[in-house]
Amino acid sequence: MKIKRIEHVGINVGSLETSKRLWEECFGISIGEVSRPKKIPIEIAMYPIGESMVELVAGTTPESIIPESNRGINHICFEVENIDEAIAELKEKGIRLAKLFTDGPRIGHGGCRVVFLDTADTDNCLIELAELPRS
């Protein structure tokens, strides 16, 4: 498996509007894209920083709003060259995919194919793998 870079670091926030002040006004980082996944009640804001990004994740319904105790760094995402090969290699090494991804990659931000690894196999560290769309 070839990890190309840290694609993004995911951060759980209470509100994108509140968090925008820190990232845009205080740090001077321009927002890249905002998206809402179809099946999960969250909103995602991507902030490009050099070759990587910061991904802010906020709930969009009362049930999905992230409580203060769960806010902060949530996961790290590695860009891989070929996600199918990466999954096969990790499975050979005893690393399972998270339950929502047992059927394989899903389409994530920017059209990336993504999976999350089972935290039981990663010392409780939430790791996402992403294969960028081919241009």
The 10s digit of each residue's pLDDT in 95-132 is 999 999 999 999 998 899 999 999 999 999 999 999 99
Based on the structure, what is the number of domains in the chain?
A: 1
d(C-alpha 117, C-alpha 98), whole Å: 5
- Average of per-residue pLDDT across 12-20: 93
The pair of three-digit structure tokens given for residue 8, joined into one six-digit string: 């993004």
Q: Domain with 38 in it: what CATH number?
A: 3.10.180.10
Whether residue 88 has pLDDT greater than 80: yes
Whether residue 38 has pLDDT greater than 90: no
Q: Considering the entire predicted model, what is its pTM? A: 0.92
pLDDT tier at 134 (50, 70, 90 boundaries)? confident
d(C-alpha 131, C-alpha 63), whole Å: 30
pLDDT tier at 39 (50, 70, 90 boundaries)? confident
Domain membership of residue 88 as a residue range: 3-131
Position 61 scores a pLDDT of: 94
5-56-101-119 Cα dihedral, nearest 10 degrees: 80
As a whole number, the mean pLDDT across the chain is 95
Position 103 scores a pLDDT of: 94
